[in-house]
Amino acid sequence: MTLPSHAQIVVIGGGIIGCSTAYHLARDKADVLLLEQGKLTSGSTWHAAGLVGQLRSSASITRVLKYSVDLYKQLEAETGLATGWKMTGCLRLATNQDRWTEFRRLATTAKSFGMEMHLVSPEEVKRMWPLMEVSDLVGASWLPTDGQASPSDITQSLAKGARMHGAKIVEDVRVTGFEMDGARIVKVKTTQGDIACDKVVNCAGQWARQVGAMAGINVPLQPVKHQYIITEKIEGLSADAPTIRDPDRRTYFKEEVGGLVMGGYEPNPQPWTTGDVPNDWEFRLFDDDFDHFEQHMMQAIERVPALETAGVKQMINGPESFTPDGNFILGAAPECANMFVGAGFNAFGIASGGGAGWVLARWVIDGEAPLDLWTVDIRRFSGLHRNRDWVCERTLEAYGKHYTVGFPHEEYESGRPAIVSPLFERLKAHGAVFGSKLGWERPNWFSEEPGARDEYSMGRQNWFDAVGREHAHVREKVGIFDQSSFAKYELSGSDAQKALDFICANDVSKPAGRLTYTQLLNTRGGIEADLTVARLSDDRFYIVTGTGFRTHDFGWISDHIGDGLDAALVDVTERFGTLSLMGPKARDVLEKVTDADVSNAGFPFGHVREISIAGHVVRALRVTYVGELGWELHVPIAATGEVFDALMDAGKPFDIRPVGYRALESLRLEKGYRAWGSDITPNDSPFEAGLGWAVKLKKNIDFLGRDASATFLAKPLRKRLVCFTMDDPNVVLLGRETILRDGAPVGYLTSGGYGYTVSKSIGYGYVRNAEGVSDQFLTSGRYELVVAMENVPATIHIEPLYDPSASRVKA
């Protein structure tokens, strides 16, 4: 096909993701041109193993994977090209109690997400897979709707479907660069000429990183060598044998033409290059590496003894694109106004392909994600992820965890410490046990035992009691949190308020010296961000948001500042350290280190003041995330240590102590504060989340999401976020446990933990009812939570459990 000179949307890459995206764009009547530097499927797609699983820990990503299965089932009927789809089901094997507990929790998650998943005995596994050795099994999980497919066949079928809907596909043309107009791509440069375009979708697979770099975009993926074998025919192997995942032996199996495909995820993976992938690496593989693969072969033979005598027809050793957190990459690149990315699929490309193409196409057309895709959003990364060596090291750790037990609260260990606050050594001396968030080292808890570390388990972990003591200290005395990792921006200019009036759901038009807690909404009325806006002067605002949301929230605000407005957004995260002084004795400490009036009358809640501490000007925000009297003190970064020392010295009579993030979590659960990414997401409206009071519908101000918000308010709410407590103190709540009302499922928990003041496990989740969720509906039901497949009685709460002003708890 002759290369056209213009296309509305140019998709780069003819693997399964690119072809799926082109198919869905063309189906939605977009003018689409797909460019492939070699032949369709020639990157990683052609040598993928083709297992298709659906269950993930995110409801939205599970929905994406379920969409893939539904698409693959009907695609042949639409296009006339077979996809090789077989719904064989999948068995996941457990050989120890930790894995079995994980499967019981996953089975609960599956139920919460409306998926069928069963737990079966070793005897049942043997009946379903007679060639398997099952003597070491505790049991297995069974997902009957999982299966397998032919990656090349699916891709060709999607490509044909794209053409049928009007897409143009050109092979043997390579992208060589982009013509930019500021932060926008106006032309795609290729080996066959330039193409003017409105939008570009980078689905270039293992080349996505260097394609993005041509436009100044960072796509943090790392090619890793992944091997599997294809055996000769094995006697007694059924053609419809379930696919097998044997995570404790780090291997997987699927039937293929009477033999087995077998591969695995080793703890010592082999990266390919941290530089650019060669342009001519199309239908190419690495040399067979039987020495490295031997670890999988030995484990596989113990599981399937027939493998010992089976002939090996072929070994596949090819690169797959993996990411630093094991999740794929979708969405609008933060550095470029019109490039979208779909890449880094961590060997889930075939399982994800159909659904990822669907949501990415909607994202490209609408300019925002069609559902909560935060776990795969490219804007979850930061400048740290431009360091290719760091990305490689962290990605190899993530690859090695592909089949390990998913313990709650587990931290990555590689590439640390990457970013530390000025208090790192001081906090270490206090016994801090650190975790990391977006590269920042942050104290999770404090131990009196030298060298203490997290000890992971499926039950209560070794930090449980220590966190309880920190929690009580904040409730009864005063604690200090190092929250220097908070993302911080300044918006300034004569139109700064006008810009925020449109972007923020709450009313920020308060006088200087006031704070506003607000959500940022999408066009569906869902919550895209949750942050605090402090007005420093008429034309200057200070915005504070969560550590992990730095790139996302900055991008969302920047993207929605109106054209022509005098409003400049600057990231000032590294300019300020943040010390949160919280607890009933917080004022006693603060008034000893400053001459400023910090009385309730002189410094009310929801205000911001500049005060002096230890000779330094500090931005003090009277706000709390723990439900106690407190201030966030935003300190010039170089002065953070001196201000910390001054507070600690002044706080000695009040028994001040540093406190970690795990106590912060338990404190916020008791008070009922929402956490973005779990309790509140782009799928949830403020009204459903109990935050309708923060939406300025009574003001005559237009804002993003106003129409959708008015619609929510005009109808009975179909879901509402509520709190549950458990009388059994040994129940561990993590989130995604199914909520039963009068025995029927009505939702699932979005977050869970333990409240040390109320001495109960606490969970938050949305209760759903198509006819509406009123207070009467909520309080009239009998509730249970399904925890690891066991029904446990629960008590519902509409009001916060903890109210410091009333000196009481409700539980």
Query: Residue 719 sits in a domain of what CATH number?
Result: 2.40.30.110
Residues 618 and 632 in one domain: yes
Q: 723 lies in a domain? A: yes
Domain that holds residue 58: 6-83+149-220+325-380
Residue 242 DSSP one-character state:
P
* DSSP labels, 244-305: EEEGGGTEEEEEETTEEEEEE--SS-EE--SSPPPTT-SS--PPP-HHHHHHHHHHHHHH-G
Q: Quick check: helix, strand or coil at residue 422? A: coil
Kindly provide the b/e burial profile for residues 340-374, where b requires at least 16 CB atoms within 10 angstroms of the residue's own CB.
bbbbbbbbbbbbbbbbbbbbbbbbbbeebbbbbbb
Question: Can you name the residues that pair with 433 across neighbouring β-strands?
Answer: 445
Residue pLDDT, tens place only, 260-283: 999 999 999 999 999 999 988 888
Gap between the Cα atoms of 757 and 402, Å rounded: 37
Contact 543, 536 (CB under 8 A): no
| Count of domains observed in the chain | 4
Rounded to 10°, the helix 464-476/661-671 angle is 60
| Same domain for 184 and 125 | no
Q: In this structure, what token pair is assigned to residue 381?
A: 């990364």
Confidence at residue 337, expressed as pLDDT on a 0 to 100 scale: 95
- Give the pair of three-digit tokens for residue 298: 């030995």
Same domain, 119 and 238: yes
b (16+ CB within 10 A) / e for 4-34: eeebebbbbbbbbbbbbbbbbbbbeebbbbb
- Give every CB contact of residue 132 below 8 A, 6+ residues apart in sequence: 125, 126, 244, 303, 304
Same domain for 130 and 187, yes or no, is: no
| Boundary residue ending a domain (592, 627, 654) | 654
Q: How far is 128 from 150, CA to CA, in rounded Å?
A: 23
Reading the block at residue 577, the tokens are 């350290």
Of 322, 350, 368, at which residue does a domain stop?
A: 322
* Residues 72 and 197 reside in one and the same domain: yes
Interatomic CA distance for residues 523 and 209, integer angstroms:
30
CA distance 464 to 753: 11
Angle between helix 16-27 and helix 151-164 axes, rounded to 10 deg? 30
For residue 520, what are the CA distances in angstroms to 497, 558, 561, 680?
14, 12, 12, 11
Q: Which two tokens stand for residue 189?
A: 């440069």
Tell whether 253 and 216 lie within a shared domain: no
Residue 283 inside a domain? The answer is: yes
Beta strands in 705-743 (DSSP E): 719-726, 738-741
Q: Residue 349: helix, strand or coil by DSSP?
A: helix
Task: Return the CATH number at 227.
Answer: 3.30.9.10
Structural contact between residues 721 and 684, judged by C-beta atoms closer than 8 angstroms: yes
DSSP lists the bridge partners of residue 618 as 611
Q: Looking at residue 45, which CATH number applies to its domain? A: 3.50.50.60
Name the H helices within 83-121: 97-112
Q: Residue 135's closest CA among 149, 145, 118, 123? A: 123
Parallel/antiparallel/unpaired status of strands 540-545 and 487-492 = antiparallel
**Which pLDDT score is estimated for 805?**
67
Q: Are residues 263 and 213 part of one domain?
A: no
Residue 412 lies in a domain: no
Residue 259, phi then psi, degrees to nearest 5 = -115, -165
Q: Match 């106004």 to its residue by tokens.
A: 337
Say if residue 94 is in the same domain as residue 78.
Answer: no
In three-state form (DSSP H/G/I as H, E/B as E, the rest C), the secondary structure along 295-328 is: HHHHHHHHHCHHHHCCCEEEEEEEEEEECCCCCC
Tokens of 464: 């449980």
On whether both 132 and 182 belong to a single domain, the answer is no
Give the residue ranges of the chain where pLDDT is below 70.
46, 49, 805-811
Among 71, 637, 543, CA closest to 350: 71
310 touches 231 (CB < 8 A): yes
Residue 114 and residue 253 share a domain: yes
Pairing mode of beta strands 193-202, 339-343 = parallel
How far apart, in whole angstroms, are the C-alpha atoms of residue 11 and residue 22? Answer: 7
Distances (CA, A) of 527 to 193, 406, 599, 752: 42, 28, 34, 20
Q: How many other C-beta atoms can be found within 10 angstroms of the C-beta atom of residue 775?
A: 9
Confirm if 550 and 333 have CB atoms less than 8 A apart. no
Separation CA 441–CA 360 (nearest Å) = 33
Q: What angle do CA 449, 454, 455 make, to 5 degrees?
A: 105
Torsions phi, psi for 640 (to 5 deg): -60, -45
Whether 643 is in a domain gets the answer yes
Note whether 215 and 204 are within 8 A (CB): no
Amino acid at position 207, single letter: W
Shared domain check, 618 and 715:
no
Residue 502 phi/psi, 5° resolution? -80, -35
Among residues 340, 357, 380, the one where a domain terminates is: 380
Q: How far is CA 448 from CA 429, 432, 433, 465, 666, in A?
A: 10, 9, 10, 12, 20
pLDDT at 39: 92
Rounded CA gap, 620 and 610, in Å?
6
Nearest Cα neighbor of 547 from 409, 419, 638, 413 is 419
543 inside domain = no
Tell whether 440 is covered by a domain.
no
